[in-house]
Amino acid sequence: MKGTFYNWIIACLIAIPMWCGAQVKPNDDPARNLQKFSQFYRYLNGMYIDTVHNAALIESAIRSVLSQLDPHSTYITAEEMVSVKETFGGSFSGIGIEFNILNDTIIVVNVISGGPSEKVGLQPNDKIIAVDGKPSIGVKQTDVPKLLRGPKGTQVSLTVARHGEQEPLEFLIVRDNIPINTVDAAYMVNPTTGYIRVNRFADNTYRELFEAVEKMDKPEALILDLRNNGGGTMDAAIAMSNFFLPQGSLIISTEGMKVPTSRYAAKVDGVFTKGKVIVLINESSASSSEIVAGAIQDWDRGLLIGRRSFGKGLVQTQFPLSDGSAVRLTVSRYHTPSGRAIQRPYENGRSDLYYEDFNKRFTAPNDSLPTDSTQIYRTLRSGRTVYGGGGITPDIVVPIDTTAYTKYWGDLIRKGVIEDFVIDYLDKNRSDITTRYPDPDRYIEEFSVTDEMLEKLVAAADTAGIAPDPQALETSRLLICTQLKASIAQKIWTVNEFYRVVNKENDPVFAKALEVLDHWDEYSSGIISE
């Protein structure tokens, strides 16, 4: 059996040079080198003095090989593949709650509308103290999904402690498909302008985008927020780009040495081919986000605001392995419609330098490395100048404002103090807040963080080992108050309200987008919006 496996591998690798049409140097011949490795592997298992843990050795060997290649070829274990499929599939089976750990106990932060938990009456602030009869006190946050998720149609019993109830409550919940939304926020900023924030690209992204715009009832302008969106499926990026472009518009092309060049264009006229478009990007907008941003910029369809994107323009193809694991190998490069390569420069086997280069952007002027003056391209309709050299450079750069950042603020976030404080605050004050602010509009306009709340936050931080720092508190006051207000809104309503608060209270990039829309003619020379 083992010999048959080796022979199959050797036969496949012998065929590789013929399949890809590449010339292989004698010392790089795949079959000869696999034969060498196969000899070593048999000696190892047949003669080595101690037990050989083959699975761990092979995984280590695969990772070692990939580490010598580009920064984005990677190995995915069989266990990790389960989560990968859920993420890009757009749904998973579970009970439909958002949760957190507070004082070693699973607390229900929110109940997903229409989900299994809502149907049986689970409520926010319920504390899950046992799952299927086994105590869950002290469970790690990373282990909670393993307890609550499962195949559609299976049952899970929860024992819940609820404020005001003397005895624990028992719930029997039948798991069902829970959608994983890729649109975090979608709302009308004013009577003519819609805002949509997309967190990643998956199978359901286009549908979510379409439905969000439909509900907005024909906005005249759209702000598409792709900041911190690390990408996802290329098909989803192409579909989103098509949403804004007419039929026939080239969206992206891929070029590689061993795979055919491919060109992807808009198949139909997009839903929003007229009207003003602004795309927000930053240094963590990558891959599929860069496809969309590049296509909109190259076709003069809208303006880009923010900071230069990550520069991840390598295309990976996922190849399954026999045990359910997989490797993602880089096979080609993305090029925008004007011909720009999205990928920023890298050196094989030096991922450390690759990410060090990324970190330099936070100390460089205007949060961007100098533009490569040799990488000049022209947009396809007005002939505006755009730049290559890696990543997508926005039309209007808004630098990071670090003046309000302090170590104290960073510690509050990193150590989860603000998150725990908000959960505890709502445990005591939820009913009062929802009575005073029956809808999010009123809450966003009228609620403000009080000095008393900040004093309690400082005390909670002190208990968590973060010493009081009055000066730092004052310096970071706006950041802290915005985060508290936004987190409370999210836990009472949805993540949509979180971004409504942040955008309104303290987001200079969003504010710049509104300014540009108010003075569109001044900023948009060459942009096609009508």
Active site residue 91: no
* Residue 262 pLDDT exceeds 50: yes
Give the number of other CB atoms < 10 A from CB of residue 413: 13
Chain centroid, CA 455 distance in Å: 34
The span from the CA of 411 to the CA of 388, in Å, is 37
Closest CA to 313 of 297, 296, 337, 289: 289
Helices 234-244 and 288-298, packing angle to 10 deg? 30
* Residue 437 pLDDT exceeds 80: yes
- In the set 298, 300, 367, 395, the catalytic residue is 298
Cα dist from 401 to 297, 311, 479, whole Å = 25, 22, 11
Tens of pLDDT along 150-161? 888 899 999 999
Tens of pLDDT along 359-407? 666 555 455 445 566 788 999 999 998 988 888 999 999 988 888 989 9
What tokens were used for 306? 């923010």
- In the set 73, 117, 136, 287, the catalytic residue is 287
Could you tell me the maximum CA-CA distance found in the chain, to the nearest angstrom? 78
What average pLDDT score do residues 20-40 get? 75
Active site residue 395: no
The pLDDT value given to residue 16: 43
Level-2 CATH architecture, domain 91-179:
Roll (2.30)
196's enclosing H/E stretch is: strand 193-198
What average pLDDT score do residues 122-128 get? 83
Active site residue 85: no
Question: Coil, helix or strand for 168?
Answer: coil
Tens of pLDDT along 87-109? 566 667 788 887 877 778 888 87
Cα dist from 511 to 223, 309, 502, 517, whole Å = 11, 19, 11, 10
Tens of pLDDT along 465-495? 999 999 999 999 999 999 999 999 998 998 8
Question: 98-131 burial by CB neighbour count: b if 16+ within 10 A, else e?
Answer: ebbbbeeebbbbbbbeebbbbeeebebbbbbbbb
The pLDDT value given to residue 158: 92
Where are the domains positioned within the chain? Answer: 2-81, 91-179, 183-397, 407-512
Give the DSSP letter string of 323-339: TS-EEEEEEEEEE-TT-
Query: Using a CB cutoff of 8 Å and minimum separation of 24, what contacts does 458-465 make?
Result: 460/417, 460/420, 460/421, 460/424, 461/411, 461/412, 461/417, 464/415, 464/417, 464/420, 465/415
Cα dist from 500 to 99, 421, 489, whole Å = 22, 21, 9
Level-2 CATH architecture, domain 183-397:
Alpha-Beta Complex (3.90)
What average pLDDT score do residues 498-503 get? 96
Tens of pLDDT along 197-207? 998 898 899 99
Beta strands per DSSP E along 3-121: 74-76, 91-94, 97-102, 105-111
Question: 251-274 burial by CB neighbour count: b if 16+ within 10 A, else e?
Answer: bbbbebeeeeeeebbbeeebebbe
What tokens were used for 161? 């402690």
What average pLDDT score do residues 307-319 get? 89
* Residue 73 pLDDT exceeds 90: no
Tens of pLDDT along 217-228? 889 999 999 998
* Residue 249 pLDDT exceeds 50: yes
- What value does the mean pLDDT of the chain take? 86
Check if the beta carbon of residue 487 is closer than 8 Å to that of residue 422: yes
**101 vs 302, residue with greater confidence:** 302
- In the set 127, 276, 312, 485, the catalytic residue is 312
* Residue 22 pLDDT exceeds 80: no
pTM: 0.80
